[in-house]
Amino acid sequence: MKFMKLGTRPDTFFTTEAVRSVSSEVTTDLKIQVQNSLYLLHKFPLLSKCHHLQKLVSESKDASNDTVIYLPDLPGGAEAFELCAKFCYGITITLSALNIVPVRCAAEYLGMTEEVDRGNLVSKLDVFLESCILRRWKDTLVTLQSTKQYPELAEKLRITSKCIDGIASMIIKRPTKMSWSQGQQRPTTTSRGWWAEDIAELGIDLYWRIMVAVKSSGAVPDKITGEALKIYACKWLPTVSRDGYPSKQVPENSSCLGSYQEITSKHRLILERVVSLLPMEKGSVSCSFLLKLLKSGNILNASSSSKMELVRRIGMQLDEATVTDLLIPSLSYADETLYDVDVVMAILEEFMLQGQSPRTSPLRGKLGVVDRRRRSRSAEDIDFEGVQENSRRSSSASHGSKLRVAKLIDGYLQEIARDANLPMDKVIALAEAVPDFARPDHDDLYRVIDIYLRAHPDLHKSERKRLCRILNCKKLSMEACMHAAQNELLPLRMVVQVLFFEQARAAVSGGGEVGELPQSLKALLAKSSYIEQGGKKITNKGPNMSNGASFDDEWSMPKFKSPRSKLATLKMKLAEADNDEVEEDVMQCDGLGRSGSSRFKSLCSIPSKPKRILSKLWTMNRSVILDLWCQC
């Protein structure tokens, strides 16, 4: 650290009974009170260099030596005043980055300028600041940190702006230069900016001004800028645990972090400033980090514009996220769900909008995502209040990224489906927002339905049917079909569809013959309802699922496991179905079989009434199908 010495005389200040004085043959004739310290000094050396003291003495009505001059608002207090007084006496003082700001502010307050005396303290301090301190990284940082004690005066004297410009220029010149580590003889190269950790100690106002200057230069790569922002955010913002509430552990060297109840508007300002500094380049910051910022934004009640910017950026790289990243807690009093599904829906729509034209529909005031009607693949626009689309999407999501996002959303749905307060409309809307081509199979989607039905056992039959409409039975694997055929929570129509499409697949693979069920379905029937041994049927009943069983117990390796609950009989389901209104026709069996068998072609459309379904299946294989649906 650079330092400067002024004056040549030895220190003659001493203290007697809480009074500071200077040793001299001449009697003191000036009393100055600074905070709790009283100084007995001489008029001549001080008034000759301090214009403010000249003015105060001349305005004093009592010209006697007992008059006390009060300086209650002197910057730097007694310590800074004493250094200025010693300079007036010619006593040696030492100045460095540690004390230059308070002494410079005190000298300005006392009026120690060139107009009063040539070679005065103000000019000497300015030369030292420009020629030495601002040329060294550590000295400039220390000086800048000192300005926060006197923000207005330091800004007026341009000390703050000079330090910011100096730090920014050093970063711009060598954003990735080698740095010397303590105890090492050779410089080391780091993967991130050598300066990021140092400037992370600054307050958000100073940090923001430095980063704006760095970004505007265009000389620092966005990756390095993004890493610097991540370091700063991790240091100053509350950490967010998996359940969404801030950790009670406060990092060391942090004075403004606290528990959830102690989070102040200062943290909100930090978050919003960090968001405003995010680089424009896609991938300059990780999707996981962006989602952590969004979680903090929910907790801190950040502005709508900041949230919308995060949603837009997350949507651009949603394929990099994990299910855990998307579990954003819902802190709204109007919503009793555990997780904020609406914001995830908005993120998904931003992802799907990549490469499309800007929106033409009116902006919405908040994240109201769910439409109670059946939603199309492109859901209605989500936006935050006061924010408009800045530009057209520069790139479109690739086919592979859409496949990854579809897998991600299905995994996310499996997690939130366990929430007993989750409305079914949100599950349907989120599931349908994913393009159909992005799901090569519907096994994960079937698992979502099964988990949701188990978490919501009081669903009406019509609601269960509406939920199951998002599932395409033709895209279920054999294991999923085996599970679904035994799942008593599914509507009868869904079970019949599963069995029908599995039989149709077997028919296609067998050359169009529909006379015998495949071995996999036979094994299913033997496992779930009966086993044929020498013409004798032996019932195989599994144990009922206990109410306290966890979801994970029902899904183990292999991926699908037969449910433990016992199937209700077909007779009971048919009795219920007889009282239902006629439903819409279910999916057509397009392209499942193209053989010339008229018998197979007659099965390509599933009737709406359950008894008509049974009659169709009856013609396929009287002995096997009858046993499947009529045995208890």
Q: Tell me: the pLDDT tens digits for 267-294?
A: 999 999 999 999 988 889 999 999 999 9
Residues 6 or more apart in contact with residue 599 via CB below 8 angstroms: 514, 619
Q: In this predicted structure, what is the pLDDT of residue 242?
A: 37
pLDDT exceeds 90 at position 514:
no
Q: Which of 341-355, 364-378, 501-515 has the lowest mean pLDDT?
A: 364-378
Q: In this predicted structure, what is the pLDDT of residue 511?
A: 56
Q: In this predicted structure, what is the pLDDT of residue 299?
A: 85
Alpha-carbon distance values, 181 to 186, 212, 264 (Å): 8, 28, 37
pLDDT exceeds 70 at position 239:
no
Q: In this predicted structure, what is the pLDDT of residue 276?
A: 95
Give the confidence band of 589 by pLDDT, cuts at 50, 70, 90. very low
Q: In this predicted structure, what is the pLDDT of residue 468?
A: 94
Q: In this predicted structure, what is the pLDDT of residue 54?
A: 93
Residue written as token pair 């049927």: 537
pLDDT exceeds 80 at position 396:
no
* 3-class state of residue 534 by DSSP: coil
Give the confidence band of 177 by pLDDT, cuts at 50, 70, 90. low
* 3-class state of residue 86 by DSSP: helix
pLDDT exceeds 60 at position 381:
no
Give the confidence band of 540 by pLDDT, cuts at 50, 70, 90. very low
Q: Which of 42-51, 293-302, 367-376, 571-580 has the lowest mean pLDDT?
A: 367-376
**Could you read off the pLDDT of 317-348 as tens digits, one per residue?**
999 999 999 999 888 766 788 999 999 999 99
Residue 329, token pair as written in the block: 């807690």
Q: In this predicted structure, what is the pLDDT of residue 518?
A: 52
Task: For residues 399-428, give the mean pLDDT.
Answer: 95
Task: For residues 170-199, give the mean pLDDT.
Answer: 68
Task: For residues 209-238, give the mean pLDDT.
Answer: 92
Q: In this predicted structure, what is the pLDDT of residue 343?
A: 95
Q: In this predicted structure, what is the pLDDT of residue 212?
A: 96
Q: In this predicted structure, what is the pLDDT of residue 616?
A: 47
Q: In this predicted structure, what is the pLDDT of residue 502?
A: 79
Residue 448, token pair as written in the block: 């979502």
Which of 147-151, 548-552, 597-601 is the most confident on average? 147-151
Q: Could you give the percent of the chain with pLDDT greater than 70? A: 66
Which one has a higher pLDDT value, 225 or 539?
225
Q: Which of 77-86, 329-338, 385-394 has the lowest mean pLDDT?
A: 385-394
Which one has a higher pLDDT value, 252 or 595?
252
Name the residue type at position 231.
I
Give the confidence band of 397 by pLDDT, cuts at 50, 70, 90. low
Count how many Cα atoms sit within 13 Å of the Cα of residue 147 in the half-sphere of its side chain: 24
Give the confidence band of 544 by pLDDT, cuts at 50, 70, 90. very low
Name the residue type at position 501.
F
**Could you read off the pLDDT of 27-43 as tens digits, one per residue?**
998 999 998 899 999 99
**Could you read off the pLDDT of 459-502 as tens digits, one per residue?**
999 999 999 999 998 899 988 988 998 888 999 888 888 888 87
Give the confidence band of 391 by pLDDT, cuts at 50, 70, 90. very low
Q: In this predicted structure, what is the pLDDT of residue 17?
A: 83
pLDDT exceeds 90 at position 45:
yes
**Could you read off the pLDDT of 158-171 as tens digits, one per residue?**
999 999 999 999 99
pLDDT exceeds 50 at position 592:
no
Task: Give 152-211 as a 3 state SS string.
Answer: HHHHHCCHHHHHHHHHHHHHHHCCCCCECCCCCCCCECCCCCCCHHHHCCCCHHHHHHHH
Residue 503, token pair as written in the block: 């039989």
Give the confidence band of 520 by pLDDT, cuts at 50, 70, 90. low
Which of 50-59, 84-93, 483-492 is the most confident on average? 84-93
Give the confidence band of 355 by pLDDT, cuts at 50, 70, 90. low
Q: Are 111 and 50 in contact (CB under 8 A)?
A: yes
Which one has a higher pLDDT value, 299 or 537?
299
Task: For residues 295-311, give the mean pLDDT.
Answer: 92
The CA distance from 126 to 58, in Å, is 29
Alpha-carbon distance values, 193 to 176, 278, 300 (Å): 5, 16, 29
pLDDT exceeds 60 at position 145:
yes
Task: For residues 514-520, give the mean pLDDT.
Answer: 52
Largest CA distance in the chain: 129
pLDDT exceeds 90 at position 125:
yes
Which one has a higher pLDDT value, 592 or 270?
270
pLDDT exceeds 60 at position 537:
no
- Burial tier of 382 (Cβ tally within 10 Å: 0-12, 13-18, 19+): buried
Task: For residues 131-137, give the mean pLDDT.
Answer: 95
The bridge status of strand 19-22 relative to strand 13-16 is antiparallel
- Burial tier of 215 (Cβ tally within 10 Å: 0-12, 13-18, 19+): middle
> pLDDT averaged over the chain?
76
Give the confidence band of 583 by pLDDT, cuts at 50, 70, 90. very low
Q: In this predicted structure, what is the pLDDT of residue 66?
A: 72
Give the confidence band of 428 by pLDDT, cuts at 50, 70, 90. very high
